Amino acid sequence: MSERNAKGKTPEDYGFRMPKNDFHIEPNERSTIRRIIGVVSGKGGVGKSFVTSMLASEMQRRGYRTAVLDGDITGPSQGKSFGITESAMGDGTLIFPAVTKTGIQVMTTNMILDSDDTPVIWRGPMVANILKQFYTDVYWDDVDYMFVDMPPGTSDVPLTAFQSLPLDGIVVVTSPQELVSMVVEKAINMASKMNIRVLGLIENMSYVRCPGCGEIIKVFGESHICETAEKYGLPVLAQIPLNPAIASAADAGTIEDLKIEEIAGACDSVENL
């Protein structure tokens, strides 16, 4: 993808022939990864990491060997959600991911930091390099589905993930606010420019169901996900309600024990790739 000048033209427009670089990286020869699904959001705070952990947990329950690569290097949360407290170990050649109680393989930045509250004060190139090394230098053991918790946004590090990882598709996570819907469209357009398949949209925090009367309360206003999905010809894979049990499970490190029925539709789409 060539840079454009002030007139919106690329070097190719002036007759220059640009090299066709393939930035995809390969895992090490000891790893096996059959499918890679990116979980994307245009901005932070919409539940991308939660959706990643739930997709991996549900597919593991279905009998697949799953893994989570926490690509949100500066804001890692998968370790906390899965109750991972150990540091990364290796054999001098490769790093070993943590393995959760149900068998999900997880690699996250917290495993290489001194403590969970150590800030990641790294510049973009180093962050991008760590993300790639999580893929190439980790021993991923016979993985059917790897879910990548992608960095939010559309800048340097997300671009590295899109260009470097051989993604089979992405799931885009959003929330009901109109502003977020606008940002989500940027993520969809970015995927289109990178020729990456968008499997569908998941809306998190869609509503709250009153425990007394069952009434649906739309805390963040009316949803715009159907309009966005129709505009781009994409399916709505799930609309997940606000539920205190989600935060409790993530805080306790027991996200694998949580079952969210709405996520099943998203897993059906992943399973049928």
Helix (H, G, I), strand (E, B) or coil at 257: helix
What is the pLDDT at residue 19?
A: 44
> Is pLDDT at 18 greater than 50 in this prediction?
no
Looking up tokens 């502003």, which residue turns up? 179
Looking up tokens 């149900």, which residue turns up? 102
101-153 tens-digit pLDDT? 999 999 999 999 887 788 888 888 898 899 999 999 999 999 999 999 998 87
201-230 tens-digit pLDDT? 999 999 998 888 888 888 888 888 888 899
52 HSE (CA, 13 A, CB side): 35
CB 254 within 8 A of CB 83: yes
Mean pLDDT of 227-235: 92
| Alpha-carbon span 270 to 23, nearest angstrom | 24
CB 206 within 8 A of CB 241: yes
Mean pLDDT of 232-243: 93
What is the pLDDT at residue 118?
A: 83
What is the pLDDT at residue 27?
A: 95
Can you list the alpha helix ranges (DSSP code H) found in 100-215?
124-136, 156-164, 178-193
Of the pLDDT bands very low, low, confident and very high (cuts 50, 70, 90), residue 13 is: low
What is the pLDDT at residue 5?
A: 56
- Cα angle, residue 199 at apex, residues 196 and 203 outer, rounded to 5°: 120
Task: Tell which residue, 26, 44, 77, has the closest CA to residue 151.
Answer: 44
What is the pLDDT at residue 20?
A: 46
Instruction: Give the largest CA-CA distance in the chain.
Output: 68
What is the pLDDT at residue 179?
A: 64
What is the distance of C-alpha 55 from the center of its chain?
10
Can you list the alpha helix ranges (DSSP code H) found in the chain?
48-61, 78-81, 124-136, 156-164, 178-193, 225-232, 244-252, 263-271
> Is pLDDT at 261 greater than 60 in this prediction?
yes
What is the pLDDT at residue 212?
A: 83
Of the two residues 21 and 67, the one the predictor is more confident about is 67
CB 76 within 8 A of CB 52: no
Across the chain, what does the average pLDDT equal? Answer: 88
CB 65 within 8 A of CB 34: no
**Structure-block tokens of residue 32:** 């096996």
Show Cβ contacts of residue 222 under 8 Å, excluding neighbours closer than 6 positions.
176
> Is pLDDT at 239 greater than 60 in this prediction?
yes
What is the pLDDT at residue 132?
A: 94
> Is pLDDT at 1 greater than 60 in this prediction?
no
Backbone angles phi, psi at 90, to 5 degrees: -155, 180
Query: What letter represents residue 266's amino acid?
Result: A
- 5-19, 62-76, 171-185, 198-212: least confident range: 5-19
pTM: 0.88
Query: What letter represents residue 110's amino acid?
Result: N
Mean pLDDT of 251-271: 91
What is the pLDDT at residue 8?
A: 60
Task: Tell which residue, 28, 184, 190, 21, has the closest CA to residue 97.
Answer: 28
Of the two residues 183 and 128, the one the predictor is more confident about is 128
> Is pLDDT at 14 greater than 60 in this prediction?
no
CB 270 within 8 A of CB 55: yes
CB 150 within 8 A of CB 158: yes
